[in-house]
Structure 1
Amino acid sequence: MRIRPACISDIDALMTIRATVSENRLSDPARVRRSDYLDFHRNSTLWICETGGQVVGFSACDPRNGSIWALFVAPGREGSGCGRALLARACADLRRAGWSKAWLTTGAGTRAERFYRRAGWQVFCEMSDGDLLLWRSLR
């Protein structure tokens, strides 16, 4: 397993992973466009998890607002340590950018919620759409 910065040439793989996850599926995949990934590549930090030269996961954090925008692992690769490694990189980037806390949103009652809680994230509030706003100290 190798964690590395994403390249523009990785965007198709990121879009495929995002479209094939079993949780937090996009009801309309067209809502997250290639241009969104390009914007995050330019203005944020995108990390890739590779196994055997294949992209199997990615994370995106935004140092402009202290958020983790995305953390997705390809189906069948969950539990491999990829998600933990990507989350650690994203949190380290936000810490280096000067943030003392990070935030993200996720679905309530999901594997993702359990994953984040095990990693020390806490519920800040339930949002109007039923998702949870989670936060974590980066100190």
Structure 2
Amino acid sequence: MRIRLAVRENTFNPARVSPADVVWFVEQAPVWVWEEAGAMRGFSAGDPRDGSIWALFVEPGFEGRGIGSALLARACASLAEAGHATATLDTDPGTRAAEFYRRQGWVEGGRDAAGALLFSRALVTGS
């Protein structure tokens, strides 16, 4: 939770993420962790129920080093393994995260009712 609370954009909104959500993901979904120098520096999780990226966060100070790209790739791979052909996510407009997703090949598809940007991306499935 330390990393999630430390980010400067897309700040934590307890109305969107309940303690039960966190428990479900820890117990039921792949959660990918980047460890460096004996500490967790980032994490990601895809939701196998609906094909969405549920979380992708990198500790401030460790951004721009490929950690987010690697963690996003793992979350997308887990969604493909769960049978999804497309991944989706949402993020706040005007953020570095939105630009990151565009650079990663995600396609913007409008906004949700709360104004968040909606993105999607075709997933590569294994042979």
Fold equivalence (TM over 0.5): yes
SS at match of 2:93: coil
Q: Which stretches of structure 1, 4 residues or more, deviate above 3 A after TM superposition?
A: 29-35
Q: Does the CA-based 8 Å contact 1:59-1:69 persist in structure 2?
A: yes
Which residue number in structure 2 is paired with residue 103 of structure 1? 88
| Equivalent residue pairs, number | 124
Q: How many Å apart are 1:52 and its aligned residue?
A: 1.2
SS at match of 1:25: coil
Q: How many Å apart are 1:33 and its aligned residue?
A: 4.5
SS at match of 1:120: coil
Which residue number in structure 2 is paired with residue 18 of structure 1? 4
Which residue among 60, 63, 70 is the counterpart of 1:75?
A: 60
Deviations 1:60-94 (A, max 9, x none): 11111101001000111111111000000001111
In structure 1, distance between residues paired with 2:86 and 2:115: 22
In structure 2, distance between residues paired with 1:137 and 1:33: 29
Task: Supply the RMSD in Å over aligned alpha carbons.
Answer: 1.5
State TM-score, norm by structure 1: 0.83
In structure 2, distance between residues paired with 1:102 and 1:76: 28
Structure with higher helix content: 1
Q: How many Å apart are 1:31 and its aligned residue?
A: 5.9
More displaced stretch, 76-85 vs 123-132: 123-132
1:55-94 alignment runs, 5 A limit? 55-94=40-79
Aligned AA (1:26) = F
Distance 1:50 1:44, change over 3 A: same
Q: How many Å apart are 1:44 and its aligned residue?
A: 1.3
Q: Structure 1 regions of 5+ residues with no counterpart?
A: 1-14
1:39-54 alignment runs, 5 A limit? 39-54=24-39
Identity %: 52
